A and B are shown apart, each in its own frame.
Chain A
Amino acid sequence: GEDVEQSLFLSVREGDSSVINCTYTDSSSTYLYWYKQEPGAGLQLLTYIFSNMDMKQDQRLTVLLNKKDKHLSLRIADTQTGDSAIYFCAERKGGSYIPTFGRGTSLIVHP
């Protein structure tokens, strides 16, 4: 299997919460990232979490890390149509400067 796995699609109603999940395989990961890519644009760093943290909150974004299960999630509260994009999970393994990306989750927000 791939090093970083994500579901490919998520559809939510405007105003609801979105939860995007990610699993990774390397227990030595030091940083875990969430990136957003809008159509025709590069990747924008949304947030990141150190591997020694369980949770990080930044305005509407909440990142949860379960290191035992190697599971990372991104919760977007009060999802808006402007949140429609592809969301990439990435890990940076211990001793490496090269991140490994998942295939991205396409978030579709409908009225």
Chain B
Amino acid sequence: SAVISQKPSRDICQRGTSLTIQCQVDSQVTMMFWYRQQPGQSLTLIATANQGSEATYESGFVIDKFPISRPNLTFSTLTVSNMSPEDSSIYLCSVEEGDNGYTFGSGTRLTVV
């Protein structure tokens, strides 16, 4: 299955600033997903990112707050913009691999102070 390198693994940020999270995949994949995971909660899908098209955002998430880039089939970034303490969470990228299910990056633990 694919191997995903996600960076940074954690960060502490000041409110009002932005953080860009990167995911690099060791193989070409069509569909990439970005999730938010809050303590004790399920994974919440933020958006689906396909190469060559605009990301598709889920209800409650907007492009101005969470801009996503997908410049090629092996890379994607998620930016958390104008952060507030409510954005403190774990952010995960994931790729779809057919019968192999979904492979996840190791996550970015974000704390906004």
Q: Which residues of A contact B41 (CB under 8 A)?
A: 103
Q: Which residues of B contact A2 (CB under 8 A)?
A: 42
A93, chain B: closest CB distance, angstroms: 13
The contact string, 1 if C-beta is below 8 Å from chain B, for chain A 97-111, is: 111011110000000
Q: Pick the residue among A8, A31, A42 that contacts B101 (CB under 8 A).
A: A31
The contact string, 1 if C-beta is below 8 Å from chain B, for chain A 19-62, is: 00000000000010101000011111100100000000000000
Can you spell out 20 A-B residue pairs with CB atoms less than 8 angstroms apart? A31-B101, A33-B101, A40-B106, A41-B107, A42-B104, A42-B105, A42-B107, A43-B92, A43-B102, A43-B104, A45-B1, A45-B101, A48-B101, A88-B42, A88-B43, A97-B31, A98-B33, A99-B102, A101-B42, A101-B43
